[in-house]
Structure 1
Amino acid sequence: MARKNQKRFEIIHHHCAGIDVGSREHWVAVNPEQYDPAVRQFSTFTDDLIALADWLQSLNISVVAMEATGVYWIPLFEVLDARGFEVYLVNSRATRQTSGRKSDVLDCQWIWQLMTHGLLSGAFRPSDEICSMRSLVRQRANKVCDQAKSINRMQKALSQMNIQLAQVISDITGVTGLKILRAIVQGERSPEKLSALRDGRIKADQETIARSLHGNWRAEHLHALGQELACHDFLEKQIAECDQAIAQALARLPVLQPETGLPCKPLRSAHRSADQQLALHQALIKVMGVDLTAIPTIGIDIALVLASELGPDLSRFPTSQHLSSWLGLAPPTRISGGKPLPGKAPKIINRAAQALKQAASNARQDKSFIGASHRARLTRMDTSCAIKATAHQLARLIYAMLTKGQPYVEKGIEEFEEKSRGRQLRALERKARKLGMQLVKAA
């Protein structure tokens, strides 16, 4: 019997290339029917990256697909993007081959083949200006984490000397705590003199603080305390430098909203003064076009993370569902035969989603529509699921604000209670109809 002709996929990109990215070398594949050689190897030196771009331009290649391998793709992406190529940054899960032989040559050819038929989608990447600010915000976050580690090591040194200062004041790096720690490092050992450095806003009295400052003062622990205090001060200086660089990066971005007003709620941000918080708030409104801090559970730090990770332009996402899926906050769609599949969905690490989850966790005590919604979710689902659902709600709100340019309008807890009462009444009416009964309003 004659063999039927196999149907071939439609070719979407006629002039494209696939790149297998590595730490030492990049393998590039093009159409073997049009070009010879069809596969070439380039090192990761800058002159070879430029030669790679020159070669692709000589072949009239317009679309390039490459794997997002570690951080090795960044220099190549920047070179190709600057040359005007349409670069698709692809998740490695989408380019995974079937079982069998595997090599760098086969990988780049497989990426080219998938890209030819339009089977790959590029990752979301903001504009270069937003990416520059994003790097600074991430660097600041790393410095804050490093400082938190140094604070923990200071606390460990104090505990080893049986200095119970953390038991009587809430923050050992506050005004009172830092004064006492600096005096200890400089050689002061008298609990009475150290407790005299107490700030008037501390709830604990001077006698209680003095009792907590009786310790053994061992030399090795004092040495560790001094080094960690110096590390804390150094990181504090670096955080301030990051804040200055972030302010300069925000000033270089296009202005979407020239008129800014005062914040609608008190702004709280670690390592920033009130004037710095106000300046950052106004700069974010100018860049984003809307005030994200108007949402009750979103503070200035979370708004900065969202601005650096998303940017003001969300045209890459057709709907809020696409944005929620990219954030990893949408409900899973692992369904086969009409039934959910067992196991967990792939874990997605997204800094914007983490910031939204932090904002969602802050909604537990918030007296707003979002806070009431979150508390209602906590009554019927696990805490982690409720936080994810509230973060999903925040993502939809932010999408609507950025795409439509509309400010956030607080509905209030009263409207939520009214909607909740309406849902309960409709549920009772459905149950009554099933039982052949009718609800009658009390006189």
Structure 2
Amino acid sequence: MKRVYDNCCGIDVHKKLIVACFKQGSEQEVREFGATTRELLELCRWLKDGDCEMVAMESTASFWKPLYNILEASELDAIIVNARHMKNVPGRKTDVNDAEWIADLLQHGLLQASYIPDKDQRELRELVRYRKSLVGERTRELNRLQKMLEGANIKLSGTVSNINGKSARAILEHVLTGESFDDAKYDEMYENNVISHRLKASKEEIIDDLNGVMSALQRRMMKELLIHLDELNIHIRNLDDEINNFMKPEAKTASVALQEMPGIGETSAQAILAVIGTDMSRFPTAGHLASWAGLCPGNNESAGKRKTGRTTKGNCLLRETLITCAHAAILKKDTYFYAQFQRISAHRGKKRAYVAVAHSMLTAIYHMLKDGVVFKDPGADYYN
């Protein structure tokens, strides 16, 4: 088999151990290094002295990141490979054998590199992921608050649509003081605009829903929970500012353009751009991008017949964001996405229809970023 690289290195990465197999033609040398920065720099010097052309390693958890950062700073070409694409023969698994197998596959060009963005985009992705985690934690805290209110016989969530809104929060803070909530207190808060005049619930309904049985322990727990909610809101706002300041001008322009598409807001646009970036040259077609995102069916063909293929495993952050955007996009009934959802869900089910809408949205995003065009909705009568 033809050699693609004369001098290359395969690395088996662990938390505290790095096993490297450096191939120079038909000869090879195996060395072990630690995972500290000093030892990683020593590994880079060894590879540079041997004129290494390419380095390959598995995407093992987050243990590949320190090594990749050092290789990138040392101007050594490196690729990250999915472990499923280079499984060794069962029964021959040792650290040294793994490193030799990776080096052998790399030398003959049999490895497919994973998409690793540049350092700035990786840091932006970390910011977006952390914000997503905090938003999820805030949602879980609101669910806990709802359970506590139910346990205290307070039915505020059945009357007010958002228990974290301004009016509901003011009512809760008064209830947690231990004072009664009667007609006089409601009138006072209503006149001072503490309670919104746009609430659909009547005064009698709100007072009746707040007539519960709350113990002193439940009151203390809810106070701590509200304090935690306020802290989470502060952290999320700080991350929003950090993301806006960190994004490059071309990314901000692209974010504004993506928000013209139904279902995509500022937060979703930032998450999408943090994952795929603004340079679409790394994806030959929109189909390649959809496959990488896990939004297209897999191939399952036998004897000339195409069978049902499950969607492939793709980038979790991008897939979840686009599915969420698809849920929001179909709420506008005068759009193409609504017509597509109705057409597919009738015979394939709603879940597959959401994935199909997300696929269409990603295809449109690809052409918007690659060709610099604006989004133009074909309309709800497209299929007619």
Task: Report if the CA contact (8 A) 1:157-1:222 is conserved.
Answer: no
Task: Report if the CA contact (8 A) 1:21-1:67 is conserved.
Answer: yes
Aligned counterparts of 1:148 and 1:284: Cα–Cα separation in 2: 27
2:206 to 197, 206, 209: 209
Q: How many angstroms does 1:244 deviate by? A: 1.4
Specify the SS of the correspondent of 2:10. Answer: strand
TM-score, normalization by structure 1: 0.81
Q: Deviations over 1:27-47 (max 9, x none)?
A: 1111165666x1111111111
- Correspondence for 1:225: 222
Aligned counterparts of 1:34 and 1:406: Cα–Cα separation in 2: 51
Quickly say closer, same or farther: Cα 1:122–1:357, change in 2 above 3 A: same
Q: How many angstroms does 1:194 deviate by? A: 5.9
- Correspondence for 2:141: 150
- Say whether 1:390 aligns with 2:382: no
- When Rg is computed on C-alpha atoms for both structures, the one with the higher figure is 1
Task: Report if the CA contact (8 A) 1:68-1:89 is conserved.
Answer: yes
Quickly say closer, same or farther: Cα 1:289–1:168, change in 2 above 3 A: closer
- Correspondence for 2:263: 297
Q: Deviations over 1:387-420 (max 9, x none)?
A: 1112111111111111111111223224x0xxx3
Aligned counterparts of 1:220 and 1:360: Cα–Cα separation in 2: 42
- Correspondence for 2:30: 39
Quickly say closer, same or farther: Cα 1:193–1:157, change in 2 above 3 A: farther
Structure 2 portions without partners, runs of 5+: 190-194
Task: Report if the CA contact (8 A) 1:24-1:44 is conserved.
Answer: yes
Letter in 2 for 1:133: L
Aligned counterparts of 1:193 and 1:13: Cα–Cα separation in 2: 83
- Correspondence for 2:293: 327
Q: How many angstroms does 1:192 deviate by? A: 4.1
Matches within 5 A, 1:121-270: 121-192=112-183, 195-196=186-187, 197=189, 198-250=195-247, 253=248, 255-256=249-250
- Correspondence for 2:106: 115
Task: Report if the CA contact (8 A) 2:81-2:114 is conserved.
Answer: yes
Q: How many angstroms does 1:67 deviate by? A: 0.7
- Say whether 1:24 aligns with 2:24: no
Q: How many angstroms does 1:345 deviate by? A: 5.6
- Correspondence for 1:14: 6
1:338 to 294, 304, 319: 304
Aligned counterparts of 1:383 and 1:407: Cα–Cα separation in 2: 28
Aligned counterparts of 1:289 and 1:216: Cα–Cα separation in 2: 48
Aligned counterparts of 2:74 and 2:236: Cα–Cα separation in 1: 35
Q: How many angstroms does 1:238 deviate by? A: 0.6
Letter in 2 for 1:16: C
- Say whether 1:378 aligns with 2:345: yes
Q: How many angstroms does 1:243 deviate by? A: 0.9
Q: Deviations over 1:96-147 (max 9, x none)?
A: 1122221111111111111111111111122222211111111111111111
Aligned counterparts of 2:225 and 2:307: Cα–Cα separation in 1: 50
- Say whether 1:54 aligns with 2:45: yes
Aligned counterparts of 2:281 and 2:153: Cα–Cα separation in 1: 57
Aligned counterparts of 2:308 and 2:361: Cα–Cα separation in 1: 28
Letter in 1 for 2:362: A
- Correspondence for 1:63: 54
Aligned counterparts of 1:289 and 1:166: Cα–Cα separation in 2: 35
